[in-house]
Structure 1
């Protein structure tokens, strides 16, 4: 089994951010899913959206591991992958890493139209207050996967689910 090195993690991040199912499946094959389960789940969602048999193994494995692990954000992702009732969440092209970083730093807002994370003073200059959702500061767990899960759980509490960003 191949482990996760910096280059493989970078390829997985890139595939998830671009919404590239094929590249995501390629980098996930033969590697343990547990260290990157939130990213793997995002690739599994792309597999489901495409409705292709290729990658069905990933959907099944991610769903089972997320349910078993039960960390913040895992239930939301497992539900999106077909475990239990799927809450009606609005799609938002938010970067989970940026949301987690904002939670760690504090004093940021999320743009509900574009999914951008901005410092609160940048948003205060904008005219439409309903467009901005304050991101609460918090102490986040160690590890990129766990931090993404906390950000995913918070977004779901606000009624949103992250989707890949497009230009």
Structure 2
């Protein structure tokens, strides 16, 4: 099994960020260290009609087993994309989960609930992003941001330029 090198991880980040369902990036690599990215890529792949059901089911199982913040929310999205659960009803927002996690770490920032941009609280109005202690690791931090968004009735959607 091939591990996640910097180049492969960069390609996976880009695919998740832009909503590309390039599940080929996941094949032959462990899902566990990148479950949040993998789930987003697989949701996109399923929406694009790609044949990724076995890989998506494996990701869903790992999300359900791991149970870190944001895993249940992503599992619900993936299960809905697979057609095994009803859609979550969360409103899509084109947001960068990394930026939301950074805002949670720094505090005193707001999220634009229409555009998904994060701004300093003294420069814009929006949804206050709560400061907090985030878990270690990029994947876990994305999950914490996803969990907070879900609590606000939102789910991350791909961002476009």
Fold equivalence (TM over 0.5): yes
Matches within 5 A, 1:53-68: 53=51, 55-68=52-65
For each residue in 1:98-132, what CA deviation from the matched residue of structure 2 results, as whole angstroms up to 9, or x when unmatched? 00000000011000111001111110xxxxx5xx1
Deviations along 1:24-70, one digit per CA (max 9) or x if unpaired, are x22211110000000000011102211232x2222111111101111
Query: Structure 1-normalised TM-score?
Result: 0.89
Number of equivalenced pairs: 157
Task: Give the TM-score taking structure 2 as reference length.
Answer: 0.93
| CA RMSD, Structure 1 to Structure 2 (Å) | 1.3
Gaps of 5+ in 1: 124-128
> Paired residue for 1:75?
72
Corresponding residue SS for 1:121: coil
For 2:66 and 2:75, the matched residues in 1 are separated by 10
Off by >6 Å, runs of 4+ in structure 1: none
Select the structure of larger CA radius of gyration. Answer: 1
- Counterpart residue number, 1:152: 146
Alignment match, 1:13 = 13
Which residue number in structure 2 is paired with residue 126 of structure 1?
A: none
> What residue in structure 1 maps to residue 107 of structure 2?
106
Distance, in Å, in 1 between the alignment partners of 2:57 and 2:117 is 31
Which whole-Å CA distance do the structure 1 matches of 2:71 and 2:136 have between them?
A: 16
Of 26, 35, 52, which residue of structure 1 is paired with 2:50? Answer: 52
